[in-house]
Amino acid sequence: MPSPPTAGPRRAVPAERERVIETRGLTKTYRGGQLAVDGLDLAVPRGSVFGFLGPNGSGKTTTIRMLMGLIEPTAGSARVLGEPMPGAGRRVLPKVGALIEGPALYGFLSGRGNLLRFDAADPTADPRTRAERVGQALERVGLAAAAGKKARAYSLGMKQRLGLAAALLQPRELLVLDEPTNGLDPQGMREIRALVRELAADGTTVFLSSHLLDEIEQVCTHAAVMARGRLVVQGTVADLSATVLGSSGGGRLAVTTPDTADAARVLKEHGVTDLDVTGERVTGNLPVPASAAPPAADGPALDLADLNAALVRAGVRVRGFGAARASLEDVFVQLTGEGFDVAG
Amino acid sequence: MSQAEAPESEVPGTDSPPRRSPRRWSLGLLRSEIGTTFRRWRTLALLAVLAGVPVLVGIAVKIETGHGGASGGSGGGEGGPAFISQVTNNGLFLVFTSLAVTLPFFLPMAIGVIAGDSLAGEANAGTLRYLLVAPAGRTRLLLVKYATTLTFCLVATLVVACSALATGALLFPLGKVTLLSGTSISLGEGLLRALVIACVVALSLTGLAAVGLFLSTLTTSGVAAMATTVGLLITVQILDTIPQLHAIQPYLFPHYWLSFADLLRDPVYWDQLQKDLGLQALYVAVFGSAAWARFTTRDITA
């Protein structure tokens, strides 16, 4: 197993074999002519935590199913861990853990029984260590205490955990997690995030589909956005914010003050744009540093402390002062539109 | 969620855990499948119903003969299932009667439920995608499902036979067996023939099992696959009784089912038995191939 570049050069194009997932013109047309995925070129670098975003019905799950060999592409090709899918499924899939469109369990089996069965389905899994590995996986997702209960009696969150445990039965090179925190309580979400980080630190590449943008932003190094079956953009999370949001990429500043007029004037002098005054609140876009290319993740170039000092020097009484960095949600909405309706 | 799940067994250099070659066709999945199938309440209920039939038949015969009518021998087999008139003289004949009673519908319906649900049920529950991603392998999974269905055919038949034998031994005398051809054989040989007959009955069901498996690959609804298989069985059984359709009847899978009675002759008549088993092999080949072609190319969207 080649050791993954944990903090590799971000902007360098990853070498061919350093891509854990790579698709070329991947297309799926369902019977009836519905185009679910349209010419997808996806490249997931080894060692990344890759967020896969898109509104409902944008083709995320179809893509994941094609990557896992469940669906035959209509056109194009997909390579996973360097080998073609679905052709090399028998060699590739034992090294891949997957949670696809929510957990699916045998209700009449216990949690442990479910894992034993899924493990038995893997011809590369060693039956001698089966019980031990199942126990470890249950422990890892916090289900050890409920392992003997029939899966029928599990709550959605527990089922989700059991699905995750099935993906963790063996050490994996790639984890494909489709909506892993669906149905979990906030505590569970935190645990999953911690687990994802822990796995990524061990060198596992994590391909994470979610529509909880906050969650992606917290754990992902890379992201891709799909809309209506097409790939809109992909890259590092920092790159996305910078290139997509453009002028507002520096973040938004909010000043609370009774002297709104003066404040607005001072801010404008310092290059803050798109100023808006509501009540005692002045908000505006912070300027992006002139060399917009290297997206320094640590905020705008303009020193906020200087800006605050300038306000005070001008006699502005400041009650509150703060900058909000552009979020992935802004990127997402910018790219996929505000509309609530799912794409037909 | 502990960080300390580290103690990775005692294998030194745990970077690459011992993985077995994926090429090896382990029996793990088959064992898991058979275990899972036979631990389900549904399977046990089906077997319980099948076990109940010989008991009911035995009790009915006992009550009937108790009321008079001696052995009811005068009527012969007319109006009742095969061999029923001999049951009072020899409990072993309850095995043959019970198989003749359950073979047209009870047994194949149970097979239809198991075969129809085999893949469609997994698809319905969504577990199919996880088995395939594990990766179970489509051909391997199909073979495992069929092997499990065949195991069920044999177990179901043996359940009927054993229940009948126990009931027969309890309610009626056992002894020398008089064959259809008039010759007598010892009880031991009679039991042996009963076992062979049970195996032939189980083999007679393999064609239907293949049809059910094929239907199961077509849909993601277990209930639909089960209902279609059983519906097909009933239709074919009806077609087999319409005299005007005699031209197609030799090709219907249940047509030679009751030929197992020929094993109770001395010498055994092989003609019909061979036709029966040949027909089953044909059905297995045709519908097995169709199931394979369908299942290995199908998009798993459930």
Residue A167 banded pLDDT, cuts 50, 70, 90? very high
| ipTM confidence | 0.82
CA distance B156 to chain A (A): 22
Q: Judge contact between A65 and B300, C-beta under 8 A.
A: yes
Which residues have a Cβ under 8 Å from the Cβ of A120 and sit 6 or more positions away? A127, A130, B28, B29, B31, B32
**pLDDT score of A338:** 57
* Bridge partner residues of B184 (DSSP): B178
CA distance B28 to chain A (A): 5
Nearest to A267 by CA among A210, A326, A224, A309: A309
**Hey, which of A51-65, A270-284, B13-27, B117-131 has the most confident mean pLDDT?**
B117-131
Nearest CA in chain A to B7: A136
Which residues have a Cβ under 8 Å from the Cβ of B278 and sit 6 or more positions away? none
Residue type (1 letter), B45: A
Tokens found for residue A163: 């699905």
Give percent above pLDDT 70 in chain A.
Answer: 83
H or E segment at A239?
A: helix A237-245
Cβ contact B130–A118 (<8 Å): yes
Least confident of A321-325, B11-15, B180-184, B284-288: B11-15
Residue A344 above 80 pLDDT? no
H or E segment at A85?
A: strand A83-85
Residue B1 banded pLDDT, cuts 50, 70, 90? very low
For residue B20, give the nearest of A98, A101, A124 by CB distance: A124
Cβ contact A94–B16 (<8 Å): no
For residue A89, give the nearest of B21, B39, B135 by CB distance: B135
Q: How far apart are CA A164 and CA A100, in angstroms?
A: 10
For residue B301, give the nearest of A71, A116, A140 by CB distance: A71
Q: How far apart are CA A209 and CA A196, in angstroms?
A: 12
CA A301 to chain centre: 27
Residue A246 banded pLDDT, cuts 50, 70, 90? low
Q: How far apart are CA A301 and CA A304, in angstroms?
A: 9
B139 interface with A at CB cutoff 8 Å? no
Average pLDDT value for residue range A172-201? 87
Residue B14 above 60 pLDDT? no
Residue A2 above 80 pLDDT? no
* Bridge partner residues of A43 (DSSP): A22
Average pLDDT, chain A: 82
Nearest CA in chain A to B124: A104
Give percent above pLDDT 70 in chain B.
Answer: 86
Residue A186 banded pLDDT, cuts 50, 70, 90? confident
A89 interface with B at CB cutoff 8 Å? yes
Long-range contact list for B6-10, CB < 8 A, 24+ apart? B9/A129, B9/A132
B132 interface with A at CB cutoff 8 Å? yes
Q: Judge contact between A227 and A211, C-beta under 8 A.
A: no
Higher pLDDT, A294 or B177: B177
CA B94 to chain centre: 19
Cβ contact A70–B300 (<8 Å): yes
What residues 118-157 of chain A have any CB closer than 8 A to a CB of chain B?
A: 118-127, 129, 132, 136, 139-142
Tell me the pLDDT tens digit for each residue of A273-314.
778 888 888 888 777 654 444 444 444 456 778 888 888 888
Cβ contact B32–A120 (<8 Å): yes
Q: In this complex, how many residue pairs, one in chain A and one in chain B, have their CB atoms less than 8 Å apart?
A: 125
Residue A259 above 80 pLDDT? yes
Nearest CA in chain A to B125: A104
Higher pLDDT, B241 or B20: B241
Average pLDDT value for residue range A11-28? 75
Tell me the pLDDT tens digit for each residue of A31-67.
888 889 999 999 999 999 999 988 888 889 899 999 9
Nearest CA in chain A to B299: A71
Residue A86 banded pLDDT, cuts 50, 70, 90? confident
Domains and CATH numbers, chain A: 16-243 (3.40.50.300), 252-324 (3.30.70.100)
Q: Judge contact between A58 and A37, C-beta under 8 A.
A: no
Tell me the pLDDT tens digit for each residue of B158-171.
999 999 999 999 99
Nearest to A292 by CA among A222, A242, A237, A235: A242
| Maximum separation of any 2 CA atoms in chain A, in Å | 76
Q: Judge contact between A21 and A84, C-beta under 8 A.
A: no
Tokens found for residue B300: 């798993």
The full 3-state SS of A10-50, as one line of letters, equals CCCCCCHHHEEEEEEEEEEECCCCCEEEEEECCEEECCCEE
Tell me the pLDDT tens digit for each residue of B240-253.
999 998 899 999 99
B126 interface with A at CB cutoff 8 Å? yes
Backbone angles phi, psi at B107, to 5 degrees: -60, -55
Average pLDDT value for residue range B58-84? 64
Residue B11 banded pLDDT, cuts 50, 70, 90? very low
Average pLDDT, chain B: 85
H or E segment at B129?
A: helix B127-133
Distances (CA, A) of A15 to A20, A79, A147, B35: 10, 14, 43, 46
B16 interface with A at CB cutoff 8 Å? yes
A47 interface with B at CB cutoff 8 Å? no
**pLDDT score of B34:** 92
DSSP 8-state assignment for residue B104: T
**Angle at which helices B206-218 and B271-297 pack, to 10 degrees?**
20
Least confident of A15-19, A237-241, A329-333: A15-19
* Bridge partner residues of A19 (DSSP): A45
